[in-house]
């Protein structure tokens, strides 16, 4: 990876991997430095503290997540196809990441209300995802109020599927959620 020649990027990439795999609190600065092969002074030059690494982590993760989603949906043409493909994307991501679940939900469980900036990024990310679903569903269901309600249901199904897949180390929840989306769309189309 070319970006790994740069210490600042190396820190963020290593921190991202470790925060996701071990948790934020369970990952120490020293482990990040060891694995990124970066000196401690470099970390505190580029980022002022561990919390700022955490903020950079969640911001980068937001961008990466939507980039990956949009890239996955690129081939799909209709909103309906895109909607269903979101669940395929989810399934693929869960498998790739060994069912570690959602970075944002995991992080929020740890920091809770302590770090306001991290919390805000997480809330904004999920608000964006909710709006993303709403846009897609609005293309399919004409009645605005109905579209909004169904979109929220799909969003909630999506989120529930991530969480349960992490718990059970299986994608049955994703498949069940996707099937339910079919039912909901059929009902109001």
The footprint of a second copy (CB under 8 A) covers 21-23, 25-26, 100-101, 105-112, 122-123, 126-127, 149, 152-153, 155-161, 163-164, 166-168, 172-173, 176-177, 179-180, 183-184, 187
- Contact by Cβ (8 Å): 14, 32: yes
Instruction: Tell me if 41 contacts DNA by CB under 7 A.
Output: yes
Which of 37, 95, 120, 168 lies at the binding interface for DNA (CB under 7 A)? 37
Question: According to the binding rule CB under 7 A, does residue 6 interact with DNA?
Answer: yes
Give CA–CA dist 46/66, Å, rounded.
25
Residue window 49-88: x/- pattern of binding to DNA, with contact defined by CB under 7 A? xxx-------------------------------------
Nearest alpha-carbon partner for 54 in 115, 2, 112, 3: 115
Query: Cβ of residue 130: shortest distance to a second copy, in angstroms?
Result: 8
d(CA 128, CA 133): 9
Instruction: Choose among DNA, a second copy, none what residue 56 binds, the Cβ cut-off being 5 to 8 Å by kind.
Output: none
Should residue 126 be labelled a site residue for DNA when binding is judged by CB under 7 A? no
Work out which of 17, 35, 46, 146 binds DNA, going by CB under 7 A: 46
Q: Which long-range contacts (CB under 8 A, 24 or more apart) does 169-172 make?
A: 169/99, 170/99, 171/91, 171/94, 171/95
> Which lies closer to a second copy via its Cβ, residue 47 or residue 133?
133
Quote the DSSP letter at residue 114: S
* φ/ψ bin of 120: left (φ > 0), alpha (ψ from -120 to 50), beta (otherwise): alpha
**Alpha carbon distance 80, 174 (integer Å):** 17
* Chain positions contacting DNA, by CB under 7 A: 6-8, 27-31, 37-42, 44-46, 48-51
């Amino acid at each position: 990876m070319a970006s790994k020649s740069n210490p600042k990027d190396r820190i963020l990439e290593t921190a991202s991997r470790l925060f996701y795999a071990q948790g934020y609190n369970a990952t120490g600065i020293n482990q990040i430095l060891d694995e990124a092969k970066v000196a401690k002074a470099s970390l505190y030059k580029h980022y002022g503290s561990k919390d700022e690494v955490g903020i950079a982590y969640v911001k980068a993760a937001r961008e990466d997540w939507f980039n990956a989603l949009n890239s996955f949906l690129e081939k799909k043409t209709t909103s309906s196809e895109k909607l269903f493909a979101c669940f395929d994307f989810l399934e693929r991501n869960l498998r790739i990441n060994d069912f570690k679940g959602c970075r944002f939900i995991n992080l929020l469980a740890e920091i809770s209300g302590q770090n306001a900036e991290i919390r805000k990024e997480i809330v904004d990310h999920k608000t964006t995802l909710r709006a993303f679903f709403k846009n897609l569903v609005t293309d399919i269901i004409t009645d605005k109020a109905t579209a909004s309600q169904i979109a929220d249901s799909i969003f909630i199904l999506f989120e529930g599927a991530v969480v349960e897949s992490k718990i059970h180390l299986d994608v049955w929840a994703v498949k069940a959620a996707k099937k339910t989306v079919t039912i909901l769309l059929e009902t109001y189309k």
